[in-house]
Structure 1
Amino acid sequence: MPNVYLCFLLAGLCILASCHHVPGHQGGHDGHEHPQDDQQPAESHEDHSACHKIARSGVEFATKVYRLIASESAGKNVFFSPVSMAAALMLVARGAKGITREQIVSGLGFNQSEITTKEFDEGFRHLLQLLNTPDPQFELSIGNALFTTEKFPLRQEVLDEARDFLQANIVPANFDHLEEAKTQINSYIEEKTHGKLVDVIGSLDPETVMVIINYILMKAHWEKPFDPQSTRKRDFFINNETTVQVDMMHRDGQYETYHDKELGCEVVRIPYKGDLAVLFILPKRGKLDQVEQALSLELLAKWKNSLKLGRIELLLPKVSLRTSYNLKETFRGLGITEVFTDQADLSAFTGQPNLKVSQAIHKAYLNIHENGTEAAAVTVIEMVPTSLPPWVEFNSPYLVVIGERKSKSVLFLGRVMNPNEH
């Protein structure tokens, strides 16, 4: 039987921050505040054990993907959503069998000697539920949709699992009229991402029979915003030969920091309102590759456990950048190979082994400003078928890790090589 085509589309949108002023104490015009102002909220007593069982896999997946993408993007900005990519692969795994499925779950970091398949499924379902839990301090939501056609019916068991484990909506679409289907899907993405991602699909393959959407949306503000009046033009050293002028934000305040002598980098944690925070990692000049190669679950844990609260002068560039990746080679680097070949077994979708993935694309957007952060990501998987405080200035390439505390998830991961590169 010839291959038929499916198109899996994941639309991710994270860290959307309103540009309006956030009420709250900034410690006066100069941004000073007392140490007790930055104390973290007490841990809740909610049971997050199911989600935490897969947290290790999630962070390992994020760091592996980062190293693969960074190695393919020498000298360029890097930014992506590992949660969006993982959700895409989970959706594909729902329809996969045999070696095809084994490669996907292995690529996700799932170790059957440490966690059962049931625990992995329950953990991912709990992660989605946790990220969708309403919070008065920020907005965070994640969801999925399957656009399907009656001419290519999916097995009821797969549809039920998509609803139960991945909170997916099932939406009928007419793929006999590709422009109509494209408009329908793009409108869905635009609505779910509050207009931040528009016209995501440029075209659909004539043989497309299904499109899967994953979106993640977050709106958040810095716990302690930067004063726009303190933003000044300063030099940013891309490398030894290239320097650019950037809008450098400035704030004198209490932050959790750590100086990693072994790797030669500064780590600064900046909290958003609520359970969200970002780690900025500034390698010494010439040490970027060393830090990137060392990036791992263990290293992130070390940094987290070593952070100490103290007053610093923080200078952080405003950033606006966009990235785009073809993920086929990235996923192959994770050992996920068969799903792209004629030997792919995605028969759990329909009962027939007549599908394969033809391409996987990820696009992302990052905007860091005085009041918070805006970020968006979309993945397309197509199937065919102190006196003077210490001075920390991020004036050379640095890493960005945006995470959610309760689920211990890495929502976004990236590298800023040039803040002015759009």
Structure 2
Amino acid sequence: MNLVADLLCLLACLTAVTCDRVYVHPFNLFSFNKSTCEELESLVQEGKETFVPVSIESKTTAAYEDDLNVKDKLEAPSLSVPGRQKLSYLKHFVYILGARFYSVLREARQGQNVLLSPTSLYGSLVSFYLGASNQTAADLQRLLGFVPPSGEPDCTSRVDGHKVLSSLRMIESLIKSMDEELLFSKMLCLFSAPGVPLYQLFVQDLLPSTDALYVRAVDFTNPSEAAKQINAFMEAKSKGQTKCLLTDIDPSAELLFAVDVRLTVNIEQASRLKEPQEFWVDSNMKVLVPMLSVTGTFKYKADASGTFSVVEVPISKTTLLVLLQPINGSDLAQVESELPLQSSAWLQQLSPREIRLRLPELTIEGSSDLQELLADMKLPALLGKGADLSKISNISLTVGKVINKAFLKLTGDGTDQPEDTTEQKENVVFLDVTLNKPFLLAVLEEKSRAMLFLGRVTNPLHGV
């Protein structure tokens, strides 16, 4: 697997379709420029101040934990041309890495529901990139998809992680800015071993990337007690929404990183069918599940191979739901094995159709450890014990788990609808699309088409 070659090909394709008169290499949209490079040395000196996090058992709020919900009120963002360019390029890097992580989870959790957030996982890696130096920083930059066009190892060949996090946050701002039918939240927690100093600048750099940030000290040498404390802390801070984040902890760890991303959407104009409907988990097993019905002009395609179809549905003012289901007797395992997920072609070239769609009402969540995903991708050392994370702490850190939890809930408007009373337009034939067997789903931000969630539903009743 030649990731560098794949990314260079992707950049070439992106360049070919760019219609701007002035050519700007995508790398240069995110890299340090010469004037910024001249300021870096002074910034390094300013970043030497450290603090020791308070204990997770402390009842007082630490001074370094700012309430972002007060100072980060998100208004309708206006994107400049460079801003749109950044999102256009970044969404491809997010998708490629998210698809790779999904492929790993798909193999590890065969027959199970899977859910991950490509933007969240990507953001976690960018966070560690901000804390990395030397070869670790170079390796992380390469994994994130940023290959310098010149290859010269100077300051301008490095990506500014702040710009990347800012673009990721813009995607989240676009999601939340105009939509009352949608609830989106993101919480980030850093847990360090007692007495471990962290650089203030590193923590401050993470503040704009999340709705809430908590940094606390935990004694990892008693793993069961540490897991219990962390689970209780995150449940309390999420007001009961985040439960059972951890089951085990490496007692030698000195830093644990956890992100919880949650999205709840009341699908526009979707109603619940009066009676539960059959959903075939496999050819021998079916369950009865609550189903939603929504009718309208949606984008659709049936693959040329005749093994799957794709429908794209606006589920709010700012988000799109893409659903892929097997057809003509094929099953999801077959489709997944043949679908080149590394390419986003399955999300493209859909055409408008009048569709009557029925899909399960969903509450699904997934949790993944970035350390395990990297190990499965043959990159165990990237954040391993030899990693240079000298911008996080002035001591050599051993990173434990890097947890990314994703939660997605799709509901209707709360009204019941009989199965056969959908109003039909005059002289219009509706295509009936019913998701009553395992399927893939993706949630995209509408303007940038960046992928927020990617998952597989094998049984809608096993969501949480």
Whether the 8 Å CA contact 1:143–1:166 is kept in 2: the answer is yes
Aligned to 1:161: 205
Q: Which amino acid aligns with 2:288?
A: Q
Deviation at 1:316, TM superposition (A): 1.1
Q: Which amino acid aligns with 1:88?
A: S
List alignment gaps of at least 5 residues for structure 2: 1-52, 54-76, 151-155, 415-426
Task: Normalising by structure 1, report the TM-score.
Answer: 0.72
Give the distance between the partners of 1:149 and 1:69, measured in 2 at CA.
Answer: 29
| Aligned counterpart in structure 1 of residue 111 of structure 2, from 72, 75, 86 | 75
- Of 141-150 and 123-132, more deviation after overlay is shown by 141-150
Q: In proportion to residue count, which structure has more helix?
A: 2
Deviation at 1:324, TM superposition (A): 4.4
Whether the 8 Å CA contact 2:112–2:458 is kept in 1: the answer is yes
Over the matched positions of the two proteins, sequence identity in percent amounts to 23
Deviation at 1:84, TM superposition (A): 2.2
Report 1:1-400 matches (<5 A). Answer: 46=80, 47-113=83-149, 117-118=158-159, 121-132=162-173, 135-137=177-179, 138-142=182-186, 144-147=188-191, 151-163=195-207, 169=213, 171=215, 173=217, 175=219, 186=231, 189-190=234-235, 193-201=238-246, 209-226=254-271, 228=272, 230-262=273-305, 264-284=307-327, 285-292=329-336, 293-296=338-341, 298-300=343-345, 303-304=347-348, 306-339=349-382, 341-352=384-395, 354-371=396-413, 387-400=428-441
Whether the 8 Å CA contact 2:130–2:161 is kept in 1: the answer is no
Question: What secondary structure does 2:374 align onto?
Answer: helix
Deviation at 1:76, TM superposition (A): 1.6
Residues 371 and 247 of structure 1: CA distance in aligned 2, closer, same or farther (over 3 Å): same
Whether the 8 Å CA contact 1:399–1:416 is kept in 2: the answer is yes
Question: What secondary structure does 1:253 align onto?
Answer: strand
Give the distance between the partners of 2:93 and 2:397, measured in 1 at CA.
Answer: 27
Deviation digits for residues 160-199 of structure 1, max 9, x if unmatched? 4334677884645465998998788556634664532135
Residues 371 and 208 of structure 1: CA distance in aligned 2, closer, same or farther (over 3 Å): farther
Query: Would you say how many aligned residue pairs link Structure 1 and Structure 2?
Result: 363
Deviation at 1:205, TM superposition (A): 5.6
Residues 60 and 225 of structure 1: CA distance in aligned 2, closer, same or farther (over 3 Å): same
Whether the 8 Å CA contact 2:255–2:400 is kept in 1: the answer is no
Residues 65 and 369 of structure 1: CA distance in aligned 2, closer, same or farther (over 3 Å): same
Q: Which amino acid aligns with 2:188?
A: N
Q: Which amino acid aligns with 2:128?
A: V
Q: Which amino acid aligns with 2:166?
A: R
Q: Which amino acid aligns with 2:202?
A: V
Deviation at 1:64, TM superposition (A): 1.1
Q: Which amino acid aligns with 2:148?
A: Q
Task: Normalising by structure 2, report the TM-score.
Answer: 0.66
Aligned Cα root-mean-square deviation (Å): 3.7
Q: Which amino acid aligns with 2:316?
A: K
Give the distance between the partners of 2:370 and 2:190, measured in 1 at CA.
Answer: 21
Deviation digits for residues 110-154 of structure 1, max 9, x if unmatched? 333499533564132222144136524244344534455782212
Q: Which amino acid aligns with 1:308?
A: S
Instruction: Report the structure number with the largest CA radius of gyration.
Output: 2
Of structures 1 and 2, the one with the larger relative CO (CA 8 A, separation 6+) is 1
- Of 213-222 and 185-194, more deviation after overlay is shown by 185-194
Give the distance between the partners of 2:398 and 2:455, measured in 1 at CA.
Answer: 29
- Of 202-211 and 46-55, more deviation after overlay is shown by 202-211
Whether the 8 Å CA contact 1:175–1:208 is kept in 2: the answer is no
- Of 67-76 and 343-352, more deviation after overlay is shown by 343-352
Residues 416 and 166 of structure 1: CA distance in aligned 2, closer, same or farther (over 3 Å): closer
